[in-house]
Amino acid sequence: MTLKPSVVSGASPSGRSSGTRSGARIFSIQLTTNLHATPTVPIMRRGRSREQRHTRSFQNTLQAQKTSGGPEKKDLDILIAASKAERLAHLESQAMQALKYTVENYEHPVFTCALIAGDMVILELLHRMDYLSTGKVQVMFVDTFYLFGETIEFMRETEERYDFKANWFHAKEFNNKAELEAAHGVDFWKEDLKLYDSICKVEPYWRGLETLQADAVINGRRRDHGFDRAFLDLYEHESGADKINPLAYFTFEDVWDYIKAENVAYHPLHDKGYPSIGDAKDTVPVPKSRWFEYAGERLGRFNGLTNDDGSTKTECGIHFPQTEEENEDVEKVGSSDEKKGGGLTIEVM
């Protein structure tokens, strides 16, 4: 069984175009049964209703079952693949609609990019819709001075690949890690994590948005990141700048299915066991058997770190709840042991 895109007008043979696609692409799932014929089930990305697409694939499989004398595992595999293709098509359409709405209704949309897997999906869509090279969406990147060297190099490669220039921000009044630690001490984050977050993450983030005059912030947060993000919607109204979460309803598995189906470039550290990439000082590899658990993507982040109240650290401070209502929702969770979504303590040899 193979899953491959066929081309309809407006799409390139690779499944991409430099601008907005005017035509639909079709995922063709090659059915291999004990029949001599090998029918193809087209899963339209746009055009037919979801019910029509599902019915077509289901009917093909039923026909194969009648000839073979009953359902076989490979028939069910075909239906699973068809369902996944349909799901990805819907999620992609939903994400692109969110991005299109953002560009058409805000003057200064900004994508805050950290180059994690979901961010690369968003960059791929922004590029495909011609929002990067035209500057319709600005990309913001915060260099904490503690990032992996691979992250800095990969951002340079990504800028060239998608023909855009990111807006880089870092700790105010410092040009590099050496200057920062000369003022605050070597590895000062171990003694005062809140100060580190404030200087290296939170302040540059908000200064960046202010500099870019952001009235809409596109980001890669998803519901399956953990409880703190479990109730995300595609759109969040906030004072100053609304948040747009085009991948809100993706799962981490969906993200990787999409990356593979569309051949999207991804951070090289994923191949070394990192499901998510943050600071080199507290990000560790995670067994791949745990990547796709609920909140599994962020298990390797904030390794061994705790908040002032002793709870497991799951956020850097940028995406903390902003309203009293959101804070009440978080408090209802209970003890820190019930919260999940980051801060896994792993001994690194």
Strand pairing class (40-44; 26-30) = antiparallel
Per-residue pLDDT tens over the stretch 175-191: 999 999 999 999 898 88
* Cα of 204 vs its chain's centroid, Å: 22
Largest CA distance in the chain: 76
> What is the crossing angle of helices 149-162 and 117-128, to 10°?
10
Span 338-345, average pLDDT: 40
pLDDT surpasses 50 at 86: yes
Which pLDDT band, with edges at 50, 70 and 90, does 314 fall under? Answer: low
Which pLDDT band, with edges at 50, 70 and 90, does 294 fall under? Answer: confident
Instruction: Give residue 287's pLDDT.
Output: 92
Per-residue pLDDT tens over the stretch 220-231: 999 998 888 889
pLDDT surpasses 50 at 5: no
Instruction: Give residue 63's pLDDT.
Output: 63
Span 292-318, average pLDDT: 65
pLDDT surpasses 50 at 1: no
- The answer to whether 200 and 193 have CB atoms below 8 angstroms apart is no
Active site residues: 316
Instruction: Give residue 213's pLDDT.
Output: 98
Which pLDDT band, with edges at 50, 70 and 90, does 75 fall under? Answer: confident
Instruction: Give residue 72's pLDDT.
Output: 73
The three state secondary structure string of the chain is CCEEEECCCCCCCCCCCCCCCCCCCEEEEECCCCCCCCCEEEEECCCCCHHHHHHHHHHHHHHHHHHHCCCCHHHHHHHHHHHHHHHHHHHHHHHHHHHHHHHHHCCCEEEECCCCHHHHHHHHHHHHCCCCCCCCCEEEEECCCCECHHHHHHHHHHHHHHCCCCEEECCCCCCCHHHHHHHHCCCHHHCCHHHHHHHHHHHHHHHHHHHCCCCEEECCCCHHHCHHHCCCCCEECCCCCEEECCCCCCCHHHHHHHHHHHCCCCCHHHHHCCCCCCECCCCCCCCHHHCCCCCHHHCCCCCCCECCCCCECCCCCCCCCCCHHHHHHHHCCCCHHHCCCCCCCCCCC
Most confident region among 150-159, 222-231, 233-242 by mean pLDDT: 150-159
- Euclidean distance between CA atoms 77 and 81, whole angstroms: 6
* CA angle centred on 156, ends 206 and 12, rounded to 5°: 105
Span 10-25, average pLDDT: 38
Instruction: Give residue 68's pLDDT.
Output: 59
pLDDT surpasses 50 at 348: no
The share of the chain scoring above pLDDT 70, in percent, equals: 65
- Euclidean distance between CA atoms 30 and 279, whole angstroms: 43
Structure pTM? 0.72
